[in-house]
Structure 1
């Protein structure tokens, strides 16, 4: 029973929230996403790389309340949030410049049992070391870091999810030694995450050798699994990366402390086999006690 249905029946329940880079929503639906959803009991989904406009999203996910931020370049990027209920408010502004219109950030407020839950779907640039693509990635992460305290002030129960395209620590990439100079595992990228999850207001020694200030958000996946390798959320479609579990953990649930304390049941829904995948990313799912 979903949280929405349960509350309509007068039964307190957690809100089940998923995040997944669908690698094209229409392709994901053709390959089996709807069949997965039928049994997933999800209430809210943060979607990245949807590569679709509003009409195409509605056709792909009938019955859902969907809000999106479409990329200016047709067939590229795009983020959306799909929920069983309509949001109370939606925002796509993140920072100055082209970030707002890039199809990479959307916030939505939902009301559950008298409590406000704010959900973000984010798609951070892949980047490429030493190129303008990497500069765009840093600009996005700068804007994200500036937004996070304001978001927490707006809603103490806030959750940023998505394909954030950074492996925070060596535990997050199977072949980390071979990627120390590559986008996704650069020290400066990882330093952002050191600050994101560092103790709020306290000095944090970061991966790039600098000292920053912690924001106090919680990596719910790491909170759930502890100091272990993975579990990975993305595997290359090439070679035997999926079969050998040579993956990256780059899809996150980053929660405010108040919300992280209410999290349970975090899981990475890894497909049973390479040929049953409907995206190169796995859904990341957790339950949050909101309004119960």
Structure 2
């Protein structure tokens, strides 16, 4: 079974840059998407080819939006605000369908309508797959300086992200245990906006005070993975490699120099993780071939539908 996660940075722009060709060539069985950034009525026709779509667009115009593409319609779909767009191949309907919201962990309600999380139970496999777009965040107040890349906000974005991390850890534990109780493996896919170790970004020496590599963010990643709960699949396959990176800035020639970050993950329960055969990043051969500022992270699992 081939499973991919891809932050497309806007599905309409990604379509113009070759998303459909990537989807046809790589032919994943499951694809988690982040930053779809498109209202339901504006989704490009045919962009998802012969896949079933489960899409949580959220209510922030032009931002966020998460989806899961599957070969067959999922048996269940869960989001945080209780609505989801379901489409079979060839359908063009616009309405959302009720989706069981379940019990939301304390602290997540401010994020519920932002289009950040969706999970599906596959119909043809004992597997629950989730797609997450985690807030980018910012710097704590004491690290902010006037004249930097962003206007100082007193640490508001940092505080919001840290609140999300604490709450989502509880939610993640619930989802993982619920899947186990149902006899399913669990796989969290997505853009976590955190590089875990020095191997996960190029300029780690100068990034210790940058959002996405703050010690407390890295500690959080460490707290949600372990050999008995969730395994970082790509790192387990490539334990000694730098990268493989999944995000590069559009600016400054970062892609050409491979000055990147590994912030897109497959976090799998151990029963699925041990079945990973190959894992890596679909890094394009050249800058003009990029579909997004992220690249898809693709894992082949010895796991038959």
TM-score (normalised: structure 1): 0.85
What residue in structure 1 maps to residue 15 of structure 2? 29
Shift of 1:199: 4.8
Shift of 1:73: 1.3
Q: Report matched runs for 1:7-156 at 5 Å.
A: 15-57=1-43, 59=45, 60-93=47-80, 94-95=104-105, 96-112=108-124, 115-130=125-140, 131-156=155-180
Secondary structure of the residue aligned to 1:159 is: strand
Instruction: Name stretches of at least 5 consecutive residues in structure 2 with no aligned partner.
Output: 81-103, 141-154
Render the CA deviation track for 1:201-241: whole Å, top value 9, x for unaligned.
xxxxxxxxxxxxxxx31000100111221110000000111
Contact preservation (8 Å) 1:117, 1:290: no
- The whole-number CA distance in structure 1 between the counterparts of 2:276 and 2:178 is 20
- The whole-number CA distance in structure 2 between the counterparts of 1:269 and 1:30 is 18
- The whole-number CA distance in structure 1 between the counterparts of 2:274 and 2:179 is 15
- The whole-number CA distance in structure 1 between the counterparts of 2:301 and 2:244 is 20
Q: 1:235 aligns with which of 248, 256, 263?
A: 248
- The whole-number CA distance in structure 2 between the counterparts of 1:198 and 1:290 is 21
- The whole-number CA distance in structure 1 between the counterparts of 2:126 and 2:163 is 29
What residue in structure 1 maps to residue 272 of structure 2? 259
CA RMSD of aligned residues (A): 1.5
TM-score (normalised: structure 2): 0.82
Shift of 1:100: 1.6
Instruction: Name stretches of at least 5 consecutive residues in structure 1 with no aligned partner.
Output: 1-14, 201-215
- The whole-number CA distance in structure 2 between the counterparts of 1:284 and 1:57 is 23
Contact preservation (8 Å) 2:12, 2:44: no
Render the CA deviation track for 1:175-201: whole Å, top value 9, x for unaligned.
01111111100111111111112354x
Shift of 1:291: 4.6
Q: Report matched runs for 1:270-281 at 5 Å.
A: 270-281=283-294
- The whole-number CA distance in structure 2 between the counterparts of 1:29 and 1:68 is 17
Q: Report matched runs for 1:173-192 at 5 Å.
A: 173-192=201-220
Secondary structure of the residue aligned to 2:131 is: strand
Q: Report matched runs for 1:209-220 at 5 Å.
A: 216-220=229-233
Q: How many residues are matched?
A: 261
Secondary structure of the residue aligned to 2:12 is: helix
Runs of 4+ in structure 1 deviating by more than 6 angstroms, as ranges, are none
Shift of 1:58: 6.3
Q: 1:44 to 1:57 in 2, by over 3 A?
A: farther
